[in-house]
Amino acid sequence: MVQVAVMGHGVVGSGVVEVLQNHRDSIAKRAKAELNIKYILDIRDFPDSPYADKFTKNFDDILNDDDIKVVAEVMGGVHPAYDFTKKLLLAGKSVVTSNKELVATKGAELIEIAKSNNVNYLFEASVGGGIPIIRPMVQCLAANDMIEVAGILNGTTNFILTKMIREHMAFDDALKMAQSLGYAERNPTADVEGHDACRKIAILASIAYGKHIYPNLVHTQGITKIALDDVAYAASWGGVIKLIGQVKRLDDGKLDITVEPMFISSESQLSSVDDVFNGILVRGDATGDVVFYGKGAGKLPTASAVVADMIDCAKHLKERKYLYWADGDESLVKPYNETEYPVYFRVSCEDKKAVADAALEIFPNSRILVRSDAPETELAFVTETMTVDMQNEKSAALEKAGAVILSKIRISDL
Amino acid sequence: MVQVAVMGHGVVGSGVVEVLQNHRDSIAKRAKAELNIKYILDIRDFPDSPYADKFTKNFDDILNDDDIKVVAEVMGGVHPAYDFTKKLLLAGKSVVTSNKELVATKGAELIEIAKSNNVNYLFEASVGGGIPIIRPMVQCLAANDMIEVAGILNGTTNFILTKMIREHMAFDDALKMAQSLGYAERNPTADVEGHDACRKIAILASIAYGKHIYPNLVHTQGITKIALDDVAYAASWGGVIKLIGQVKRLDDGKLDITVEPMFISSESQLSSVDDVFNGILVRGDATGDVVFYGKGAGKLPTASAVVADMIDCAKHLKERKYLYWADGDESLVKPYNETEYPVYFRVSCEDKKAVADAALEIFPNSRILVRSDAPETELAFVTETMTVDMQNEKSAALEKAGAVILSKIRISDL
């Protein structure tokens, strides 16, 4: 019997207790030992819970109990989760988590502490909810160099974009619908501004390239400025707009890592990842493209990933799983202004003919896009590949020629 | 340093040597030891190979060398691979393989021998080539009951069907193209008759349900009888025809396991898995649907999966990975005639009006399908859910009413 504790009894935490209970026998078989919940930590009271006798409000009960070998941290947020996790690892207990914010900001340090104390710190549930992605990247793809990792990592924004694409719903209406369905928080900033996706691509990049890529090094842009007009132009271009978290290694060894809306070709597997689903593409030099798809959030999917990590810890109480990245710094990342890609512009202008001529002179080899019902004063085009610096310089020239830039969206090479 | 051997120097075998060589350093880091190829077994001569000094034609060189701890069996076929693998496991060496035929027919026995000898027998590469599927199913989904596993498991037939769907190429022409591109063998039977997919779904079912499901228990039907007319009716129904390997547990505990062409709705993630790609859907009670997608075959993808298993064996020389199924028998599988599903019929008839009336009487609540350019003598419809026995009984009645049955294809619930 392995004694475990669950810290946090919110959506994921209560799901973890439920999965541990409902799958008791099969888990015991897999873990080669029964997993018994000794404590559930939460500041709230749950007098009617069937597990009422297990609740504690005192973290020290868990920390000081030598019987506890594995702890699930499903509290979320950096504080106090960071402090608790550190103390548990130092005390020789393995910790598993779904806390992407903590892993993305403190992962290198916590992994190092786990290593020094010969215990495990696992976080399969921190990216992609119930989709197995971290373990396959580490283990199955061990014999590959990672060329690129790119994904639709946030279900809320993908739901909103899907409504915009399929039902021509405006952003605000789609957001309201997501909120009423419980897919978006009342304060949706972390989702719609790309912060959640940023943490996730930071974690995937750290695994793929072995050095911690901190979220503040990731150029991050949300979807709040995407208009239905842009969605229509993406369709006429031959694709859809998706919020993509992406990292690839450039020829100079630096990483191009970003979260931003992108035009994705309909030919790409990611283009058909709709609604609240997530899809993650891993491009290895030997495997080619492998895509993982599923529900990226939700109580039971996420909880089952947390429990799978608990099983793994229980099986390896005295052995470390290979999951490691060293500390990193800004030298690993290509400054965003120096990265390069083709870009879509939508502009308004009084003299369309003159501005179109200027656009084709300033951005040679561009492709003009058309959509039905476009106003006479609107122009849209897709440029060649160029650096962001160059895009900005040329944008200024285009504005001088009489254009007002309404939208500017990256064209992906996926 | 861990000494390894590679048995077989065909497409996959030479890929394994290449991956081990090109990723020497990163593999050493992951495996916590260098992997050194001491022998390559092949009956052919490779005098110009840079590894010429490692070749042997004598299996006993590998078997009797106590230094060899891990062996990759990439010979294919049951004999002599079965005999060799058994001897190696009994001698305390771990074996990894891409040999789906061997795993599907002798897996339970070889896994049991590995277990008794405290070594590993791993076969990630046997299903889905470079797509990680077996390890995620075993580990990440450990906290789930498997409701269903279904997939496009054979790239050759998927290429042929894609050509039929997208370019209206006839089966024979698409097969010829697949052969000329090297996707299909000169004797394409194992692919087009579904035997390859059958072995793969047998392996996935054995993992999902813990008992060996032998390939001869799987109702298997290929794609040779699919006509372009059927492809057109599938489109009018709202989907595509794919060769699906599928297993699900029925309410009575028995397994509905089959390989056959099916109508798949365009809404399903599997419907957009095209060309030589594979896609595998795993439906867990907690995770919901998770889909794995990538190249299901090919030298380097498959080799990288073999090498990932070699790394795992090298890391666990004295410990067993959890990968086990017990022996099984026919009592596990629902007889095909008793399984039930809705079915599509295409029939020819002289008196269309009379046959259509008969069809709707014999198969109540059917949906008539239409396609452009259909001859006056053709009728197509999709029935309600019913057992295969019932389908056959009613088919006979329909024939009595003047219909000649041209096609009969399962409608999937994916």
Task: Work out the average pLDDT over A207-223.
Answer: 97
CB contact under 8 A, A301 and B292: no
pLDDT over 80 (residue A112):
yes
| Closest chain B residue to A19, measured at CA | B143
CA dist., res. B126 & res. B301, Å (int): 12
What domain range includes position B102? 2-129+299-327
Q: Which residues of A touch B305 (CB under 8 A)?
A: 140, 143, 287
Q: Report the catalytic residues of B.
A: 200
* A275 in Cβ contact with A281 (< 8 Å): no
Q: Does B118 lie in the same domain as B58?
A: yes
Helix (H, G, I), strand (E, B) or coil at B42: coil
Q: Residue A322: pLDDT above 80?
A: no
| Domain count across chain B | 3
Which chain A residues contact residue B287 at CB under 8 A?
Answer: 130-131, 294-295, 300-301, 304-305
Find the CATH number of the domain harbouring B376: 3.30.70.1150
A195 shares a domain with A257: yes
Under an 8 A CB cutoff, do A304 and B286 touch? yes
CA separation for the pair B150, B145 (Å, rounded): 15
pLDDT for A78: 96
pLDDT at A270: 95
Residues B311 and B235 in one domain: no
Q: H or E segment at B121?
A: strand B121-122
Q: Please write the tens of the pLDDT for every residue from A52-104.
A: 999 999 999 999 999 999 999 999 999 999 999 999 999 999 999 999 999 99
| pLDDT attached to residue A143 | 86
List the single residue in B with minimal CA-CA distance to A304.
B143
* ipTM of model: 0.91
Nearest to B140 among A132, A286, A289 (CB): A132
Is the backbone of residue B275 left (phi > 0), alpha (psi -120 to 50) or beta? Answer: left
Tokens 């988590």 appear where? A97
Respond yes or no: is residue A200 known to be catalytic.
yes
The DSSP element (H or E) to which B203 belongs, if any, is helix B195-209
Q: Tell me if residue A49 falls in helix, strand or coil.
A: coil
Based on the domain organization, do A289 and A153 belong to the same domain? yes
Residues facing A386 on adjacent strands:
A341
Q: Cβ of A365: how many Cβ atoms within 10 Å?
A: 9
Q: Is residue B230 part of a domain?
A: yes
Nearest-CA neighbor of B240 among B168, B189, B154?
Answer: B168
Q: How far apart, in whole angstroms, are the C-alpha atoms of residue A245 and residue A255?
A: 13
Rounded Cα distance between A345 and A364, Å, is 14
* DSSP label of A126: G
Burial class (CB in 10 A: 0-12, 13-18, 19+), B254: middle
Please report the number of interchain residue pairs, chain A to chain B, with beta-carbon separation below 8 angstroms: 156
Residue B142: the pLDDT is 80
Structure tokens at A243: 């919020």
The per-residue b/e assignment along A198-221, b for 16 or more CB within 10 angstroms, e otherwise, is bbbbbbbbbbbbebbbbbebbbbb
**In 3D, which of B215, B196, B208, B219 has the Cα closest to residue B248?**
B208
Across residues A314-327, what is the average pLDDT? 86
Residue-level pLDDT at A254: 97
- Tell me which of A11, A17, A139 to substitute to probe the interface with B (most B C-beta atoms closer than 10 Å): A139
Instruction: Identify which of B295, B307, B319 has the shortest CB distance to residue A288.
Output: B295
For B69, phi then psi, to 5°, come to -110, -30
Q: Where does a domain end: B295, B314, B347?
A: B295
Catalytic residue among A200, A242, A248, A352: A200
Give the closest residue to B196 by CA, choosing from B241, B155, B224: B155
Mean pLDDT by 10 residues, chain B (414 residues): 97 96 91 95 95 96 98 96 98 98 97 96 95 88 89 97 97 96 93 98 96 97 97 98 98 97 95 95 94 92 95 88 88 97 97 95 97 95 98 97 97 94
Identify whether B369 is part of a domain. yes
Cβ of A132 and B136 within 8 Å?
yes
d(CA B124, CA B307): 10
Chain A nearest CA to B141, separation (Å): 7
Whether A332 is covered by a domain: the verdict is: no
Q: Do A55 and A164 reside in the same domain of the chain?
A: no
Same domain for A119 and A240:
no
Helix (H) or strand (E) holding A191: helix A189-192
Q: How far is B337 from chain A (nearest CA, A)?
A: 32
Enumerate the β-bridge partners of residue B369: B380
Domain CATH code at residue B61: 3.40.50.720
Is B332 among the domain residues?
Answer: no
My answer on whether A41 and A144 are in the same domain is no
Collapse the DSSP code of A71 into the 3-class scheme (helix H, G, I; strand E, B; otherwise coil) and give the result.
strand
DSSP secondary structure letters along A257-325: EEEEEEEEETTSGGGG--TTEEEEEEEETTTEEEEEEEE---HHHHHHHHHHHHHHHHHTTTS--S---
Sign of CA dihedral A25, A27, A31, A34: negative
Answer yes or no: do A103 and A144 share one domain.
Answer: no
Tell me: pLDDT of A321 over 80: no
pTM value is: 0.94
Please judge whether B300 and A322 are an interchain contact, meaning their C-beta atoms are less than 8 angstroms apart.
no
Name the DSSP class of B118.
T
The arithmetic mean of pLDDT across residues A324-340, rounded, is 95
| CATH number for position B238 | 3.30.360.10
Q: Which candidate, B122, B62, B180, places its Cα nearest to that of B310?
A: B122
Confidence (pLDDT) at B321: 77
The pLDDT value given to residue B143: 86
Whether A285 contacts A143, CB under 8 Å:
no
Residue B199 counted as domain residue: yes
The DSSP bridge pattern shows strands B343-349 and B340-341 to be: unpaired
Give residue B9's pLDDT.
Answer: 97
Beta carbons within 8 Å of B345's beta carbon, 6+ residues apart: B359, B363, B379, B380, B381, B382, B383, B395, B398, B405, B407, B408
Chain B closest-CA separation from residue A278 CA (Å): 10
Straight-line distance from the first to the last Cα atom of chain A, in angstroms, rounded to the nearest whole number: 47
Interface test with A, best of B267, B278, B290 (most A CBs within 10 A): B290
3-state secondary structure of B355: helix
pLDDT of A227 higher than 90: yes
Considering the domain architecture, whether residues A216 and A274 belong to the same structural domain is answered as: yes
On whether residue A14 sits in a domain, the answer given is yes
**Partner residue facing A143 (CB), from B135, B145, B308:** B308
From the list A270, A287, A323, the residue with the least C-alpha distance to A150 is: A270
Token pair 């580990």 is found at B139
Q: Same domain, yes or no, for B290 and B304?
A: no
Across the strands, what pairs with A367? A382
Burial B232-247 (b: 16+ CB within 10 A, else e): bbbbebebbbbbbbbb
Query: Which residue, B402, B267, B254, B274, is CA-closest to B337?
Result: B254
Query: Are residues A235 and A169 part of one domain?
Result: yes
The reply to whether omega before B261 is within 30° of 0 (cis) is no
Query: Which chain B residues contact residue A240 at CB under 8 A?
Result: none
Residue A334 falls within a domain, yes or no?
A: no
For B275-372, where are the alpha helices, taking DSSP H only?
Answer: 299-315, 352-362
| B327, B346, B376 - which closes a domain | B327
Residues B84 and B105 in one domain: yes
pLDDT recorded at residue B90: 98
Residues with Cβ < 8 Å from B298, sequence gap 6 or more?
A288, B129, B130, B276
Q: Does residue B342 belong to any structural domain of this protein?
A: yes
Report the residue of B265, B269, B271 to disrupt the A interface, i.e. the one with the largest count of A CBs within 10 Å.
B269
- The answer on pLDDT for A319 being more than 90 is no
The Cα A65–Cα B329 span in angstroms is: 47
Chain CA centroid to CA B23, Å: 28
CA A240 – CA A224 distance, rounded (Å): 16
Do the chains contact at B130 and A307, CB–CB below 8 Å? no
